[in-house]
Amino acid sequence: MKLQLTSPLDMHLHLRQDNMLKVVAPLSSKTFSGAIIMPNTLPPISTKEQLLRYKEDILNATKGDTFTPYMTLFFKNDYSREFLESIKDEILSIKLYPAGITTNSEGGVSTIDVESLRPTLEIMSDLGIVLNIHGETDGFVMDREAEFVPIYKALAKAFPKLKIVMEHITTKASADALLEFENLYATITLHHLYITLDDVAGGMLQPHLFCKPIAKRPEDREALLELALNANPKVMFGSDSAPHPKSAKEAPGCAAGIFTAPIALQLLAQLFDKHNKLENLQAFVSNNAQKIYAITPAKKIITLEKKSFKIPSSYGNVVPFMANEEIGFVIDN
């Protein structure tokens, strides 16, 4: 059996910088038509010059592939209307990080409420710029996302014309909130559709399954599966593929992030096939995102074949999700 996907999109991708960028970027550009590129680099992308330079680096690393890097800006409270007007055509969204909540987010927002964010969000709403949010508080690790849900709701009510994307949702509470407001959307990762906290820490600790937000309970995963497998029009695929060198993962102070980019489409096909939902995969990995962001990606046909494939033990110095495991789909291009 063969399956064709047209212009698959990854709506949440980390490409890092320098040598890591050169290793991982081609692994996404080979199979995806485009991706939203996260701005939490060092330093974070907050000026037009930084953004254009980073985009050029990505295009150089992916040269020869049909691939569009959809750029994002790191949220700051002091962006002027003039600045956002000048950069609007170069970005697809602006990403808000709570300060210190994840990798390279120390320069994020320390106070997240309607009034403190109003100046920038009103401009974004007027200009039609999408807001992406890493939605976690600094509370108990299993409760951080659920505790952020009231903030999502408050922002959705206060800025009804602003499209707000709840990034990498992991809880039933987020899934329920998503359906309450017309202007709330969400990305869902591959790994949160596959694993729960038990896979991470139920036996021997698995550092390559440690990420933020951390995987949650089985009932949370079921809520995500319900949305993704049925390609609910408010959700789209965003891998949150986050590469770290093996030395940073298998170490004290294990870095947060799961690397899924090179095997994401194969594992999604396996999952959707297992649940007899393959007909919905195209919408989840492309069509929904095109509608939510009002984009038309370059045409790119990816063919997957249902046959055994062994995931490599590493890509460069990065260990992928499910390394060395046999899976049921392979890319046939």
Which sequence positions are flagged as catalytic? 240
**Residue recorded with tokens 């390394």:** 323
Give the tokens for residue 73: 């800006």
Q: Which of 142, 145, 165 is nearest to 75 (CA)?
A: 165
Task: Tell me 323's DSSP state.
Answer: T
Q: Under a CB-based contact definition with an 8 Å cutoff, are residues 230 and 277 in contact?
A: yes
How far apart (Å, rounded) are the C-alpha atoms in residues 47 and 85?
Answer: 13
Residue type, 54: Y
How far apart (Å, rounded) are the C-alpha atoms in residues 176 and 186?
Answer: 11
Q: Under a CB-based contact definition with an 8 Å cutoff, are residues 216 and 188 in contact?
A: no
How many Cα neighbours within 13 Å face the side chain of 161?
9
Q: How far from chain centre, in Å, is Cα 19?
A: 21
Q: Under a CB-based contact definition with an 8 Å cutoff, are residues 38 and 13 in contact?
A: yes
| Strand ranges in the chain using DSSP code E only, listed in sequence order | 2-6, 9-13, 34-37, 68-74, 93-96, 130-133, 164-166, 184-188, 235-237, 301-305, 309-310, 326-327, 330-331
In terms of C-beta density within 10 A (0-12 exposed, 13-18 middle, 19 or more buried), how is residue 327 classed? middle
